[in-house]
Structure 1
Amino acid sequence: MSLKKVLVWLAIAFVVFYVIQQPESSAEMVKNAGQALGDAASSIAAFVSSLA
């Protein structure tokens, strides 16, 4: 098994463990990430529309 595969499986195991141990903070982190992506998309859309 390659090192890359082992690291990927370890990362997945860590995420699953974190979600099981702290579901509220995990949900808050996902919510914040989604909000940041939405804000970035809105900013890019405003930039592109200001070019026209």
Structure 2
Amino acid sequence: MLNKSIVALMMTAALLLSACEKDTDTYPVTGEQCGPEDPVKTLDAADCDILPAGV
């Protein structure tokens, strides 16, 4: 029983993490194709940090 729960948890985690694959050939929101010089190709998650108020 425990093994089935662990396998189900691992498969769910793998499915969720596979959805996080970064595709630099399309825009993140619209899914449109990027041109060779589009700035979206150099974006990283660190570029989207939001600073807390008062900093």
**Alignment TM-score, normalising by the size of structure 1:** 0.45
Report which structure shows greater RCO (CA 8 Å, sep ≥6). Answer: 2
**Alignment TM-score, normalising by the size of structure 2:** 0.43
Identify, as 1 or 2, the structure richer in helix.
Answer: 1
